[in-house]
Structure formats: C-alpha cells, structure tokens
C-alpha cells in the first residue's frame, strides 16, 4: 500500500512538472511575441519622435491652382513651379484616429476616409480637433453628408472623396494618376495636403489589427529625406507617423470595386 501511494505521489509530481514546463514555455512564447511587437515598431516610433520635432516650413503660399473640379493628370517627368522644394516639410495638421473613442465597430472600421477628410478640413480652416467628442461629431457629419449625396459612406474612391471635400467644405482638389515622390513633395511644398488611397494590407503598420484594412486612406502632411510624414487615422499612434517613400507609392491603389491590390494609383491634392 505504501509503494502504491508513493507511485501515485510520484506521478502527481511528474504531472506538476510537465504542467509547469508547459506554463513556462507559454510564458516565454508570449513574452517573445510582445517583445517582437515592441521592437518591430521601434524604428517607426523613433522616426515619429524625430519628425514631430521638425519645424513647419515658413513662407509657403497655399496653392490655389487645382480649380473647382478634380481633373485627373498623369504624373509628368517634371513640373514647373515657383516654389522650391525644401529638405523637410511638416505641417501642424490636427490628428484623430478614425475611431476617436476606440469603438471599432463597423462604422468606425470604415471611417478612415472621413477621418482623413476631417483632418484636412480642420487644417485649412485653422481649426483644432479638441478631443474625441469633437472628432466623432466631425466624422459623423461627413458620413451623414455622404449617405445623403452618395447613398453610402463605405470605401469611397478618390473621385468620390474629392467630391466630398469640394462640395461639403469648398476646398479645392486635384487627382493625380501614377504620382511620383517628387510630385508629392512639390505639392506639399506648395502648401497642399495629399490624401493617398491604399491597399491597407500592403502598408505594413505594426499597430494595425491583423491582417490590416483592405482599403485605407493616408493623409500626407510632410516629408523628410527618406519618409513621408502622415497622420494615419488607422491607429491611435498615427500622428506624425512616417512611412518610406517606396511603401506609400507601392501601397497606393484606388478602391477598384474591392479589388484594391490592382486598383489604379491615384492621389488627391487638397488646397484652400
């Protein structure tokens, strides 16, 4: 009887050891995962801190050459402009995530276009975004307008979004096909903001909820030597978020009926 009791106790100890090893392995794997998540975004966080410290360019005139409509233009090899291209540009554009109260329901999953438009509108009208309530109200106003005038608000194309910007806020827009880095930098140097429709899963932001949005809008507010500076409404960490030039241009695709990866490369230039 004593031997049986000892065998049972030994088995229990062995089971506890196995359970302990399993728990230790799970803890190590979990820690490794979060360490990877942290360090995978370390470069972006450092770049974000650096670009946040950049001064806004002085003496730039906001361009009004876009006209009342949104003519589509092919990206030329070079464009004449009276404005020289500074080494860096970083406009002080108010930021909001597309879910201001972190309520990622269906409406807010689809609200990146409206958030980008709201940020551009507030910049050109010299208005701040005072907090989540203010941002939510602004986003909902745009959604309401879109439902009334477009019949929907989800996944608006470059042309549809440009129409919202013009007709709702009276700002000027221009749609550029196949944009180049030089052309985007020149537009920013001229005082315009740039809205970029993207295949969201090609952007590679580590703060997006996996697998990332099918379709997404980035608001470009400046650039450094190697990156565009964005207000990316897809994450609460999106203010002054830097992306390499190549990343933005390769991810740039219009809605294309949901076949975003093969959508045309178009951007929206916004000016007052």
Query: Three-state secondary structure along 139-153?
Result: HHHHHHHHHHHCCCC
Instruction: Classify domain 65-271 at the CATH class level.
Output: alpha beta
Between the CA of residue 176 and those of 46, 96, 180, what are the distances in Å? 31, 25, 9
Residue ranges per domain, the chain? 65-271
Contact between residue 179 and residue 75 where contact means Cβ atoms under 8 Å apart: yes
- pLDDT tens per residue, range 226-259: 999 999 999 999 999 999 999 999 999 999 999 9
pTM reported for the whole predicted model: 0.76
Task: Give the Cα separation of 141 and 225 in Å (integer).
Answer: 37
Q: Which residue's structure tokens are 């697998």?
A: 211
- pLDDT tens per residue, range 147-199: 999 999 999 999 999 999 999 999 999 999 999 999 999 999 999 999 999 99
- pLDDT tens per residue, range 206-220: 999 999 999 999 999
């Amino acid at each position: 009887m004593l031997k049986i009791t000892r065998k049972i106790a030994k088995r229990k100890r062995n089971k506890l050891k196995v359970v302990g090893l399993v728990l230790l392995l799970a803890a190590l794997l979990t820690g490794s995962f979060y360490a990877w998540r942290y360090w995978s975004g370390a470069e972006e966080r450092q770049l974000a801190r650096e670009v946040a410290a950049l001064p806004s360019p002085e003496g730039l005139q906001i361009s009004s050459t876009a006209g009342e409509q949104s003519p589509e233009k092919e990206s030329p090899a070079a464009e004449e402009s009276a404005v020289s291209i500074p080494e860096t540009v970083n406009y002080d554009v108010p930021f909001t995530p597309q879910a201001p109260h972190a309520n990622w329901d269906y409406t807010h999953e689809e609200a990146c276009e409206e958030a980008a438009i709201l940020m551009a509108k507030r910049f050109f009208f010299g208005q701040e975004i005072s907090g989540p309530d203010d941002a939510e109200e602004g986003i909902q106003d745009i959604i309401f307008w879109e439902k009334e005038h477009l019949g929907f608000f989800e996944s608006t194309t470059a042309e549809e979004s440009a129409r919202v910007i013009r007709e709702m806020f009276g700002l000027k827009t221009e749609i550029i096909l196949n944009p180049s880095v030089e052309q985007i930098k020149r537009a920013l140097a001229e005082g315009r903001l740039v809205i970029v429709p993207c295949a969201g899963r090609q952007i590679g932001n580590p703060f997006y909820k996996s697998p990332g949005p099918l379709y997404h809008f980035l608001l470009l507010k400046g650039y450094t030597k190697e990156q565009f500076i964005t207000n990316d409404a897809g994450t609460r960490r999106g203010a002054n978020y830097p992306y390499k030039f190549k990343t933005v241009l390769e991810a740039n695709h219009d809605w294309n009926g949901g076949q975003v990866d093969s959508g045309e490369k178009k951007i929206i230039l916004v000016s007052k």
